[in-house]
Amino acid sequence: MSLSSSPFPALPSLPFSPCRPRPPRPGLRLAAVSESRARDAPRLESDRARRTFGHSEQVKKVSGAENGGLDVLYDDGFGAVSVKDYFDAAKAIDKPDGGPPRWFCPVECGAPIKDSPLLLFLPGTDGVGMGLILHHKSLGKVFEVRCLHIPINDRTPFEGLVKFVENSVKNEHAMSPDKPIYLVGDSFGGCLALAVAARNPNIDLVLVLVNPATSFGKSQVQPLIPILGALPSNLHVTVPYLLSFIMGDPVKMAMASVEDNLPILQTFEELSNSLTSLLPLLSGLADIIPQDTLLWKLNLLKSGAAYVNSRLHAVKAEVLVLASGKDNLLPSGDEADRLWASLKNCKVRYFKDSGHTLLLEDGINLLTILKGTITYRRSRRHDNVTDYLPPSVSDFKTIHQNDRWFKVATSPVIFSTLKDGRVVRNLAGVPDKGPVLLVGNHMLIGLELRPIYEEFLREKKVIIRGMGHPVLFSKTTETSRKEISTIDTVSVYGALPVTPSNIYRLFSRGSFVLLYPGGAREALHRKGEEHKLFWPKNPEFVRMAARFGATIVPFGVVGEDDIVELVLDYDDQKNIPFIKEWIEEMNQDVAKIRAGVDDEISNQQLYFPGILPKLPGRLYYLFGKPIETQGMDILKHRKNANVLYLQIKSEIERIISYLKRKREEDPYRNILQRTLYQASWGYSAEVPTFDP
């Protein structure tokens, strides 16, 4: 069934097409699964595999091509389009054809991966539907993208637009009842998305609200509505210039077309040229939004906000709010506070330096945000394994750019051990194919994590699926002004909650898994405990790795004591009454990872350590000799598993001692020596270190 309400005018030169009907899918058989069966699924899978393959499990090698997914560091096309393209496309599409609202499919989105969900873009006040143009290529990889176009002369009331979108949603839901439907609402479109969700609480909707206009009643534009109505038509051409500076930051929009990592002088030159070419285009807003249309849209905003605010209590959908701190059109930060408190299933990401037109600004990649907030899924529930999308080239560049100062300050040195025992300065000693289990020591607050993720991607094009404490991915870490965080970044890289089921499924797919047996106890250690292991007694991970014949690679990392000083640890904080109460309250609802085990590691209290930075030293990593578990007699004999477990722990302690001793021989351990070296050889040059 086609979602277009009428035949689209013939515009063969434009980069979009009317949406075609999707053929009905073959009949699907739905099976009811009881809660107990779902809970026991990993065990049942294990029993079934054991009966079929003996005591070891079969590993299914998975690549992006094999499962209809994406390869590591795929090209998502982000950054190839600028704001100028938005104005060009808006002028081309926004013609008074006398037709009603309709959907169109941007041609540049291309064909998405298998089983991709539908994404409906609901535009802002302009109604053009091109507000996602900077994101068409990247979103088109993993969504079926359709954009709503509201012609400039259309006067459909708010409820009429809601019913139009609602009909499309219901049709899609009827064809694919087990898949979510994404509604990305920009400003006014946010009101539409919320209205549809309120009227359809039983349909699985995911709302992405970008500076939603639900706060229009508090907008500073309100007093201008009577003035705009009385403004002579010959002066209307000045209004777009005024609105453009209210709605967004022209400099950030111009930066969207400036290449990254250019020298400073060249960056300023490119920005100047981009800004010079952008400003004259603003006059085109007078054609995109004529005076009578602008007045109609402003009144439509007012009625839409009132309609939605009276129905917020009925919204049951999953909601992600993207709010700008410098939105001069709407009080988006305050509105994010209100929506976060009012909606039952709401996350917020706050962009304190962005304006109203967030999706047209430099550095804002919507798909990356969806990955980091774990908002992408292809079924009713998010699956940490099958719904994971690997980082793209633009993801890697952005994260690398954001981490560049940490990397410059700590200058990580990474070694690995070859099969013959030689230590080399790269990852050549780590296997190229999984399943692989990387087991090591945690530094304070996980300072060592990002260099590991980045180096494996850069050198081996391998995703490390890091096991993290479940609380890091829970709602307890969410706030109404939460900015893009380290958790978002490592989620893009592949981190997920540590559970036996997740480890089991990752090994079965031949993945690289990163595990810290000491967990939060090591990451939140006390004073004087840096580089010390705190491991549980049971060899949990050894038997799991042996079941799949995974290769275990022990590693150690040192350098925390050269980077930060722990000044306020858990023992200090529990002696301060109000902090002690806050820690106890924070830990009340935290689930224990090892249920039924009562030891220091399982009972670790979560807290925020007080730290001070030092004049940076250096981080040192060494991946030990790989241990092949294939063929080991571990599953039948627990004693052998305990022996291997203690051997791995001992190897990591040996590596830590080795690195602490060898770093004393590094002439570039101090940042001052490294800075002098890079000043002579260039900041992209690899700084030497000790001979292993």
**CA–centroid distance for 72 within its chain:** 15
Name every residue whose Cβ is closer than 8 Å to that of residue 260 and which is 6 or more positions away in sequence: 79, 397, 401
Structural domain span for residue 243: 75-364
Over the range 636-671, which residues count as b (16 or more CB within 10 Å of their CB) and which as e? Answer: eeeebbbebbeebbebbbebbebbeebbeebebbeb
How many other C-beta atoms can be found within 10 angstroms of the C-beta atom of residue 133? 25
User: What are 440's two structure tokens?
Assistant: 């090591």
Tokens 């002066």 label which residue?
Answer: 235
528 by Cβ neighbours in 10 Å (0-12 / 13-18 / 19+) ranks as exposed
User: Tokens at residue 12, please?
Assistant: 């063969």
Q: What is the pLDDT of residue 11?
A: 35
> Any residues with CB less than 8 A from the CB of 615 and at least 6 apart, and which?
670, 671
- pLDDT tens digits along 530-575: 999 999 888 889 999 999 999 999 999 999 999 999 999 999 999 9
Is 154 within the bounds of a domain? yes
Residues 235 and 318 in one domain: yes
Domain identity same for 180 and 220: yes
Backbone phi, then psi, for 155, in 5-degree steps? -125, 35
Tell me which amino acid residue 616 is.
P
What gap in Å lies between CA 671 and CA 614, rounded to an integer?
Answer: 11
Count Cβ atoms within 10 A of the Cβ of residue 585 and give its class: 0-12 exposed, 13-18 middle, 19 or more buried.
Answer: exposed
Distance in angstroms between the alpha carbons of the first and the last residue of the chain? 66
What is the helix (H) or strand (E) element at residue 323, kind and residue range? strand 318-324
Domain-located, residue 34: no
- 397 and 337 co-located in one domain: no
Asked if residue 657 and residue 518 are part of one domain, the reply reads yes
The alpha-carbon radius of gyration of the chain (Å, integer) is: 28
| Contact in structure between 534 and 522 (CB atoms under 8 Å) | yes
- pLDDT tens digits for range 255-300: 555 566 656 566 555 545 554 554 445 555 555 666 677 788 888 9
Buried b (16+ CB within 10 A) or exposed e, 434-454: bbbbbbbbbbbbbbbbbbbbb
Q: Of the candidates 364, 380, 402, which is a domain's last residue?
A: 364
Quote the pLDDT of residue 447. Answer: 93
Contact in structure between 538 and 461 (CB atoms under 8 Å): no
The verdict on 305 and 403 lying in the same domain is no
**pTM, to two decimals:** 0.85
**In terms of domains, do 620 and 510 share one?**
yes
Copy the structure tokens of residue 204.
């699985």
CA distance 479 to 316: 19
Length of the chain: 692
* Residue whose C-alpha is closest to residue 153's, from 191, 100, 89: 100
Q: Give the CATH number for residue 614.
A: 3.40.1130
Stretches in the chain below the pLDDT threshold 50: 1-15, 21, 23-55, 65-67, 235-238, 241-242, 245-246, 271, 275, 278-280
How many Å apart are CA 173 and CA 171, to the nearest integer? 5
How many separate domains does the chain show? 2
Candidates 341, 317, 101, 302; CA nearest to 199 is 317
Same-domain status, 398 and 359? no
Is 442 part of a structural domain of the chain? yes
Supply the DSSP string of 174-222, one letter for each residue: HH-TTS-EEEEEETHHHHHHHHHHHH-TTS-EEEEEES-GGGGGG-TTT
Rounded to an integer, what distance in angstroms lies between the CA atom of residue 499 and that of residue 42? 11
pLDDT at 654: 98
* Residue 574, in any domain of the structure: no
User: Domain check: are 519 and 658 in the same one?
Assistant: yes
Question: CA-CA distance, 344 to 326, in Å (whole number)?
Answer: 26
**CB crowding 316-355: b at 16 or more within 10 Å, else e:** bbbbbbbbbeebbbbbbbebbbbbbeebeebbbbbbeebb
Helix (H) or strand (E) holding 267: helix 264-278
Element (DSSP H or E) covering residue 540: helix 540-547
Position 285 in a domain: yes
- Are residues 325 and 266 part of one domain? yes
Shared domain check, 525 and 462: yes
Kindly state whether residues 230 and 319 are assigned to the same domain: yes
Phi, psi of 89 (to 5 degrees): -70, -40
- Residue 289 has a pLDDT of 66
Residue 191 lies in a domain: yes
166 and 304 in a common domain:
yes
Is 54 contained in some domain? no
User: CA-to-CA distance for 72 and 65, rounded, in angstroms?
Assistant: 11
Q: What is the CATH number of the domain that holds 108?
A: 3.40.50.1820
Q: Does any domain span residue 225?
A: yes
**Nearest-angstrom CA–CA distance, 189 and 198:** 14
